[in-house]
Chain A
Amino acid sequence: MDDFLGIAELSTKTLEDLLDTAQALSEILSRPIKKVPTLRGRAIANAFFEPSTRTRNAFELAAKYLSADVVNFSSTGSSLEKGESVWDTVKTLEALGVDAVVVRHREAGVPQLMAERLAIPVINAGDGEHEHPTQALLDLLTVRQRFGRLQGLRVAIVGDVLHSRVARSDLYGFLALGARVTLVGPPGLVSEEWREWGAEVTWDLAQGIRGAHVVQVLRIQRERQAQGLLPSWQEYRERWGITREHLGWADPNVLVLHPGPQNRGVEIDSEVLEGAQSAVLDQVRNGVAVRMAVLYRLLGGAAE
């Protein structure tokens, strides 16, 4: 593996290895001194061309717990504002001597195009509506920890599936590891085409989450209303919001995931988010572990 660009291109074996590595590394997070020398002397650049809090922090901490040095780049106040191309920006980071670059960009395909231009590994931290592969890894890890397996689980992904890179990466990951995936969302925000890939597709939340072991709740973006794709938030919540009442349709031991940041009272209610079935804090914690696993795998831990 030279780069980490998407779940779709990973073999099942690689996916499982990454989860196993993440599981092993997660032990470090509960130590009093969270530092191992694995990547000492290595440098990682976080190149976030789009705002991010948790993903960037998770990558930064993951690198630091492995003793790598981290440089953070964000587009505001940078040479991008002086007209520099994104390719020159990352070439410059490479020339500065970093050993890997973590990229978030609002457009699909940018990490892949960067990987073609750079000799160092490129890690996709979310590109447009394409993929968010480390998010899928942390979701898979969180579910596997809770159920001990992924094979045969029923997973519902609910919300604005069409515009979601998280949904795509989750879909590939859960399907690859043997789960059954149902995509649930308003007409116009979920495509029938996904049946071709082995997912079930429905507009009906009750049908979509019936018996589900896992409900991944997607963030609903404010701009969808302005685009005329959705009526009011009240109507969205009543039809697709994950409320305690709606969650009653799912399996009694259902695990609720949300990639964050959440719109409380719209796609998810506070009492669900903070309830016993919610795994959102496990997700955040696992977010550090899976990024450690990705960095470890790409940089090999072979620093002297």
Chain B
Amino acid sequence: MTAENCPPEAYQIEGALVLDPFTGREWSGPVVVEGGRVVEAPSGAVPVRRVEADGLWLVPRLVDIHVHFRSPGQEWKEDLESGSKAAAAGGMTAVATMPNTVPPVDDPALVTWQRSTGERLGYTQIWPIGAVTRGLAGETLADLWRMQEAGAVAFSDDGRPVWDSRLMRSALTYSQSLRVPIIQHAEDPRLFEGAAMHEGAVSLRLGIPAGPAEAESVMVWRDVQLAALTGGRLHIAHLSAPGSLEAVAWAKARGLRVTAEVTPHHLLLTDEAVAEWGYHAVTKVNPPLRPQAVRDALIEAVCQGVVEVIASDHAPHHADEKALPYAEAPFGIAGLETSLGVVLTVLVHTGRLKPIDAFRRMSAAPHAVLGLSYPGIVPGAAADLTLIDPYHEWTVEPERFYSKGKNTPLAGMRLKGRAVATMVRGIWVMREGAVSAACWDA
């Protein structure tokens, strides 16, 4: 439980450079928060606490629209509380959770439960994504409208594709009436069957079963054609293949409602990491880490805006599961607590993107993808704010994660920049790396 029962306070955040991707404005000046909202000036009704933020950046409503919180059903990997705390630690004021739980989130009751549990916990806002198909079985449409009424923000069978072309057509057609996207985990199941990594020079050397990048792009090409046919909204999850980039660019050139995201790990690492980690399944992720040329193309696509969203695909697993032999271990990297650091390290400190443009891909852009509005830092806006120390260098130590999932090939790496405080609806949920429900002075 967060500090809702603390004595009410207003906060005057001073000294920070405000970067607001929602309005496109950058300024230095105090931001005042009272009653859970951004205000012009303190009302005087409650004490005002000054928050010194010299040298820090202040960014509104950072979100991660692709996370796995594993609840219900796999709480040994993650639960809503540990996942929410990980989000707060990573500076994310909202997350969209994938529905491939056990049972899957294909029913309004589960949507309501996840959303309200997130609100009760208060560390971040949980935006449930509902299943496209009942039971994730890929056979019949789930009750998309009823789930949306309960609070679902999008639909996906993530973890597996909607591979049946007719059903995908139906989903894209039907969801138009809901004005939300179908988020596709694009993977031709036969082309990637039995594969555990990217097919290329590294897999050949290691002898690990592998699949080609085209396992992804053939389905992205199919889906953009279906988006053209239906006029539906399509969002490509964790895009990782050059052919997928071409398909998305093709769709955008035609004015189709097609968007895409990449993960920080595909922007940072290559399949050489699989060799460097010597068969430890910590590098096993789907889609798999790709060669350097693909990584370069993904970075370029993010900078050019072909891909507009960065999302972590935070996929926590238990250490015993990740300790299995490579091909038997589950796919996934726990990324919520390193996402911001990777983006700053790879895109901002290298000069590839201006800070506000990098943050746009984790705030305004994902809002647009989901059709959600947020006004930016203006009076009346919900006070969902993140303070970032852009120059803080730190070492990734998974044992210090709030997530139950310690599975990351970034372990031991140096990153530059991280969230130092997170505020959700006017309440500080994380300060100096510590996620806490305690009141400020406690």
Contacts and interface: CB of A to CB of B under 8 A. Distances in A.
A9 B328 CA distance: 25
Interface string A95-131: 0000000000101111011001000000000011111
Interface string A69-95: 000000000000000011100000000
Interface string B296-334: 000000000000000000000000100111111000000
Contacts of B201: 193, 196
A176 to B, nearest CB: 15
B209 A129 contact: yes
B327 A193 contact: no
A191 interface: yes
B325 A86 contact: yes
Contacts of B328: 107
Contacts of A86: 325
A129 B199 CA distance: 13
A194 interface: yes
Residue among B201, B207, B278 with most chain A CB within 10 A = B207
A113 B207 contact: no
A112 B278 contact: yes
B109 interface: no
Given A105-B325, A108-B326, A109-B325, A128 B208 contact: yes
Q: Is the interface on chain B under 10, 10 to 19, 20 to 34, or 35 or more residues?
A: 10 to 19
Nearest to B199: A191
Contacts of A128: 207-209, 327
A165 interface: yes
Contacts of B352: none
Contact of A87 (B205, B208, B279, B323): B323
B280 interface: yes
A162 B325 CA distance: 20
A165 B204 CA distance: 10
Contact of A112 (B209, B279, B320, B327): B279
Contact of B207 (A87, A168, A193, A196): A168
A108 B207 contact: yes
Interface string B197-220: 000110011111100000000000
Interface string B276-299: 001110000000000000000000
A194 B204 contact: yes
A108 B325 CA distance: 8
Given A105-B325, A110-B325, A131 B204 contact: no
Residue among B205, B279, B280 with most chain A CB within 10 A = B279
A195 B13 CA distance: 61
Residue among A109, A110, A165 with most chain B CB within 10 A = A109
Interface string A55-69: 000000000000000
B208 A109 contact: yes
Interface in A4-41: 8
Q: Is the interface on chain A under 10, 10 to 19, 20 to 34, or 35 or more residues?
A: 20 to 34
Nearest to A110: B325
Contacts of A191: 204
Nearest to A168: B207
Contacts of A110: 279, 325
A113 B280 contact: yes
Contacts of B209: 128-129
B166 to A, nearest CB: 24
Contacts of B323: 85, 87
Nearest to A164: B207
A157 to B, nearest CB: 14
A18 B278 CA distance: 25
B209 to A, nearest CB: 7
A113 B325 contact: yes
A236 to B, nearest CB: 22
Nearest to B279: A109
A129 B208 CA distance: 7
B279 A108 contact: yes
A55 B112 CA distance: 58
B327 A107 contact: yes
A120 B323 CA distance: 20
A131 B207 CA distance: 8
B294 to A, nearest CB: 16
Contacts of B204: 162, 191, 193-194
A162 B209 CA distance: 10
Interface in A140-187: 162, 165, 168
A193 B204 CA distance: 8
A277 B209 CA distance: 35
A112 B207 CA distance: 13
Contacts of A105: 325
Given A109-B279, A112-B278, 12 more contacts: A85-B320, A85-B323, A107-B325, A107-B328, A108-B326, A110-B279, A110-B325, A113-B279, A116-B278, A128-B209, A129-B207, A130-B206
Interface of A: 8, 85-87, 105, 107-110, 112-113, 116, 127-131, 162, 165, 168, 191, 193-194, 196
Enumerate the 4 nearest inter-chain pairs by beta-carbon distance, A residue then B residue, closest first.
A109-B279, A130-B207, A129-B207, A108-B207
17 contacts: A87-B323, A107-B325, A108-B207, A108-B279, A109-B207, A109-B278, A109-B279, A109-B325, A109-B326, A110-B279, A110-B325, A128-B208, A129-B207, A191-B204, A193-B200, A193-B201, A193-B204
